[in-house]
Amino acid sequence: MRTSQDYLTTGNKSVLGFGGMRIPSGQPELQKMVDVYLDSGANYFDTAYIYKGSEEAFGEALVKRHPRENFVIATKLPPWEVHNAPEDCEKIMKEQLKRTGLDYFDFYLVHSLDESREKDVDSKGLFQWCAEQKKKGLIKHLGFSFHGGTAYLKRLLDKYPETEFVQLQQNYMDNLRGPATEWLDLTLEYKKPIVVMEPVRGGSLAALPAPAEKLLKAYAPNRSIASWAIQYAATLEGVTCVLSGMSNMEQLQDNLNTFQNLKPLSLEEKNLLEQVLIEMSKVANIPCTGCRYCHNECPLDIDIATCFSLCNEVNRGSAKWNSAIMYKSIPKGHRANDCIKCGACVPHCPQHIDIPKELDQVVEMFK
């Protein structure tokens, strides 16, 4: 199994990371998955302060049941929860250590950085505070997760050279049609190892429009659709770990199978993904990854991610009547039509979605 230092060696072959955002809610299922995952030889677990119940769940399924030297674990400091520094930082870390039952974290990240948080991060000295915790032995390695623009990423890498790794959103949609390749290239220029998040873009690259899925199934009938996205991300230069939010054993086994014989995509396969993206571009899609960061800020607890997912399913060709039934199963008061347009959610969306505007699209679809 890898040590924490191994993940900072960019020449290493990338491995599957156990993402804590979409873990199963029940301990029995999670414990089985943790055991199978560790038995495979992988050992990187990722969680965050704002992933509801995730730190506690890993505390029970992982920390209490396995020797500390058998795993490495990452968690994150959310800048938007720090109103008074350093008091709030200390309170958050103390709570994280208690939730997980750990004495230290192998990896600690300043969470979800973009331009809107730049002044806060700098003025509150969040990186400096984290560096102090590293001196105390509470953090082994310091990094950040990133959702901003390329210019801001460069400023971060220049201002905080003490950071040892970067967590980036990397997938074939954002890299081939968006700015993600710029982030990759810049991070490589600064010689920082990369942990990949959202390789399947919140599941949207695992549930393609029918014509796009048909292309991949015609080429490789026995491969899962998700495995294409995982393979793409895992074979990018500089990537040491690819996080996958796995909700069940089937997803875990599929991901482990992908990593068993991991190799770069051929030119023919890369061209096939280009054709997939062309088909996807024909379908309207709300670029939500289901991270649910917005849910923590909504005063009415609107089920934003589910609303967007159901809308996207219809746009991809699913039966509208079925999605409409699922939409109506969302409790009254928590549907798209209950949104009061306060905008509290918008600054917390890593994908920079105009959430109230897109919720209007959901309302129109299911009216």
Same domain, 146 and 52: yes
Report yes or no on 277 lying in a domain. Answer: no
Res 261: pLDDT = 84
Cα–Cα dist 178/167, whole Å? 17
Report yes or no on 281 lying in a domain. Answer: no
Cα–Cα dist 35/18, whole Å? 12
Cα–Cα dist 327/3, whole Å? 45
Same domain, 263 and 146: yes
Mean pLDDT, rounded, for 182-191: 96
Which residues does residue 15 pair with via DSSP β-bridges, in sequence order? 241
Same domain, 263 and 342: no
Mean pLDDT, rounded, for 105-126: 95
How many helices (H) and strands (E) would you count in the chain?
15, 8
Same domain, 260 and 360: no
**Residue 321 pLDDT class (50, 70, 90 cuts):** confident
Report yes or no on 285 lying in a domain. Answer: no
Mean pLDDT, rounded, for 149-173: 96
pLDDT at 85 over 90: yes
Report yes or no on 73 lying in a domain. Answer: yes
Report yes or no on 344 lying in a domain. Answer: yes
DSSP percent split of the chain into helix, strand, coil, nearest 5: 50, 15, 35
> Can you read off the two tokens belonging to residue 328?
């109506």
Report yes or no on 54 lying in a domain. Answer: yes
Same domain, 93 and 192: yes
> Can you read off the two tokens belonging to residue 65?
């049941």
> Can you read off the two tokens belonging to residue 243?
């996080």
- Say how many domains are in the chain: 2
Mean pLDDT, rounded, for 315-324: 78
Longest CA–CA separation in the chain, Å = 57
> Can you read off the two tokens belonging to residue 344?
């509290």
Name the average pLDDT for the chain: 94
Report yes or no on 275 lying in a domain. Answer: no
Same domain, 109 and 196: yes
Report yes or no on 280 lying in a domain. Answer: no
Radius of gyration, alpha carbons of the chain: 20
**H-only helix segments in the chain:** 27-39, 54-58, 87-100, 118-123, 126-136, 150-159, 172-177, 180-189, 210-219, 225-234, 249-260, 267-281, 304-315, 320-328, 355-365
> Can you read off the two tokens belonging to residue 168?
């980036």
Same domain, 264 and 339: no
Mean pLDDT, rounded, for 232-252: 96
Same domain, 182 and 300: no
**Which residue shows structure tokens 């918008």?**
346
Same domain, 222 and 356: no
Owning domain of residue 34: 5-270
pTM over 0.85: yes
Same domain, 173 and 250: yes
pLDDT at 38 over 90: yes
Same domain, 89 and 136: yes
Same domain, 343 and 204: no
Share of the chain above pLDDT 70, in %: 100
CATH number of the domain at 161, please.
Answer: 3.20.20.100
Mean pLDDT, rounded, for 202-225: 94
